[in-house]
Amino acid sequence: MKKPAHDALRTYRDKRDFDRTPEPAGESSEHKSPETIFVVQMHAARSLHWDFRLEIAGTLKSWAVPKGPSGNPADKRLAVATEDHPLEYADFEGSIPEGEYGAGTVLLWDRGTFRNDGPRHGQDVSLEEAFERGHLLVWLEGQKLRGGFALINSKLGGNPKNWLLIKSSKDQEMDPEEDVVNARPESVLSGKTIEELKDTD
């Protein structure tokens, strides 16, 4: 039996006090668009990281990427699996108050649609199945991240939460020489940098 999306969000809700944080509680798991979405949120919490999220099975499957994504296929970026987030989280930018889970500033760094790019061994594998197997191949149509990416559950150091996020070398959608997180630090929602967002708190 597959768990319904509202159960998938239990950990997310247990960690948060929605009277205090401006983050969405995720009441509806309805998605109106026929295309699946992805989002990357730069998160200046205790330590800076980029939260990479893919819409799979009605929720946002999530990973925290300490160095942020890279458009260079030679870079293998550690991506630590975190709790599922509600689809509404894809619109969130703002500040999580001091003392709350994930306290700090969240900047909407990239957003767009994506598709499954991973027919393996001549067989189609659904996104949900690929996620469970720990081997996702996706094609991103973002404003900054574009083209093929792999997410591999490497379990580095014996930790099952450890995945790797790697740009595919089979397309030229991104300039491998551009350090995309530093070259394009601005929000795709507000155009602000993380410092400018902090100043408006």
Of the candidate spans 40-48, 137-145, 168-176, 192-200, the one that interacts with Mn ion by CB under 5 A turns out to be 40-48
Nearer to Mn ion, 43 or 167 (CB): 43
Q: Binders of Mn ion among 51-70, rule CB under 5 A? A: 51
Residue 85 interacts with Mn ion (CB under 5 A)? no
Q: Closest separation between CB of residue 126 and Mn ion, Å?
A: 27
From the list 100, 93, 87, 89, the residue with the least C-alpha distance to 18 is: 100
Residue 146 interacts with Mn ion (CB under 5 A)? no
Residue 93 interacts with Mn ion (CB under 5 A)? no
From the list 19, 5, 140, the residue with the least C-alpha distance to 86 is: 5
Q: Closest separation between CB of residue 144 and Mn ion, Å?
A: 18
Among 24, 26, 43, 89, binds Mn ion (CB under 5 A): 43
DSSP E strands: which ranges in the chain? Answer: 36-44, 48-56, 59-65, 77-85, 94-96, 104-116, 135-141, 146-152, 162-167
Residue 16 interacts with Mn ion (CB under 5 A)? no
Helices (H), the chain: 5-8, 10-14, 127-133, 180-183, 194-199
Tokens of 50: 């980029």
Residue ranges that bind Mn ion, judged by CB under 5 A? 43, 51
